[in-house]
Amino acid sequence: MNLPTTLCRLAGPRQVHCCSRNVSTIRRCLMNGQFPSVCSLLIAAVLAFNVLTVADAADKEPAAADAKTEKEMKPYKQTITGTDVSFEMLPIPGGTFTMGSPEDEADRYTDEAPQREVKIEPFWMGKCEVTWDEYDIWSFSLDQKIRKLRGVEPTEQDKKADAVTRPTPPYTDMTFSMGHDGFPAICMTQLAAKTYCKWLSQKTGHYYRLPTEAEWEYACRAGTTTAFSFGDDPGKIGEYAWYADNSDDQYQKVGKKKPNPWGLHDMHGNVNEWVLDQYQETYPAPDKSVQGPLPSPLVVATELYPRVVRGGSWEDDPADLRSATRRGSEEEWKYQDPQIPQSVWYHTDALFVGFRIVRPLRVPSEKERAELKLDAKKVVNQR
């Protein structure tokens, strides 16, 4: 059989035939940092078929990723350096929109008010939620392990990425047997998601981060003003989302439902997605000193709880999948954290929470990134 695993994509695009028992052995060896002789031989066989060098990966860098103006922005596929794992980014045009829901919207919650006009700068957004295939390269240091097996020296870019903190391997399978390849990564804290973005930025040379709540809703709506990006009829939700009635009580592979008008998949349902903002029970009152739309609002997080997640999940009803629906994080999501409140914790028990990434066209300055807390910082109140 073919080797449909993270290792195959890490080793390169050529396929290797081996039995399913060996596939499981390879993955288990890599993720546990154990390399028994049979595993080493199998890995060596894979690598012998195609040693994907850093230079090879660099050749895959898409020209579309180097846009300097909004007019030049195009979709692109980014390969994670030193691997054959990639993800797609779609351009989101700058513009204005009405954030929040109108008073007459069915199933509306009070925290979706007051509505306000918001101006958004252009950015790219992940076509799909971040998958385990991508996330495990960072969380299990698979890039370093593959590099070691190949005998490849790290580049200066690799060294910067290697310096980014990575979590201690979890004590259990974080997929909870719901699926790995092509499925959304889950059960991470906001800190873990932000740290992944920091690592990915160093790995690729492009600045990635979590979206703001305003950016997320703007991209979800994709120019619409209805309850969902496909209209007001919740009866159509099954065409666009995995939710309580069709998910079979678990998350599903990304990108299998219809996209929104801007080509983004799973903005409704599958897993809730982390954004940067602190959750508040209502939006801040409009600033009367600001004339016109409010530029790129962000509620800078000052407390650990609650932070905002968006989009609804595989366990939710349609009302919780609307474009304006918000949810705040809860301390109970980390009830297995053995050192609350002193520890820096990367894992949660929230099987319904994942994330997707954005890349702003205008890269913020170091000062702006620090003031707005856009990047991960290893302190307890960032968990």
- 209 or 39, greater pLDDT: 209
Please give the model's pTM, rounded to 2 decimal places.
0.87
Whether 316 maps to a domain, the answer reads yes
pLDDT tens-place string over residues 55-92: 344 445 677 889 999 999 999 999 998 899 999 999 99
pLDDT at position 293 is 93
pLDDT at position 347 is 79
The reply to whether 259 and 326 lie within a common domain is yes
pLDDT band for position 335 (cuts 50, 70, 90): low
The reply to whether 38 and 74 lie within a common domain is no
The reply to whether 264 and 314 lie within a common domain is yes
Give the start-end residues of each E strand in 233-370.
Answer: 272-278, 294-295, 307-310, 326-328, 353-354, 358-360
pLDDT tens-place string over residues 295-307: 989 999 999 899 9
Question: Which range, of 276-285, 291-300, 334-343, 364-373, averages the lowest pLDDT?
Answer: 334-343
The reply to whether 120 and 24 lie within a common domain is no
State the chain's mean pLDDT as an integer.
86
Domain CATH code at residue 253: 3.90.1580.10
Task: Count the domains in the chain.
Answer: 2
The reply to whether 14 and 113 lie within a common domain is no
Give the integer Cα–Cα distance in Å for 185 and 206: 21
Whether 150 maps to a domain, the answer reads no
Whether 246 maps to a domain, the answer reads yes
The reply to whether 197 and 227 lie within a common domain is yes
Asked if residues 11 and 84 have their Cβ atoms less than 8 Å apart, the reply is yes
pLDDT tens-place string over residues 15-34: 333 333 343 445 556 555 55
Whether 220 maps to a domain, the answer reads yes
First to last CA, the chain: 41
The reply to whether 47 and 70 lie within a common domain is no
The reply to whether 279 and 377 lie within a common domain is yes
pLDDT at position 280 is 97
The reply to whether 241 and 304 lie within a common domain is yes
In terms of residue numbers, what domain contains 312? 63-131+187-382
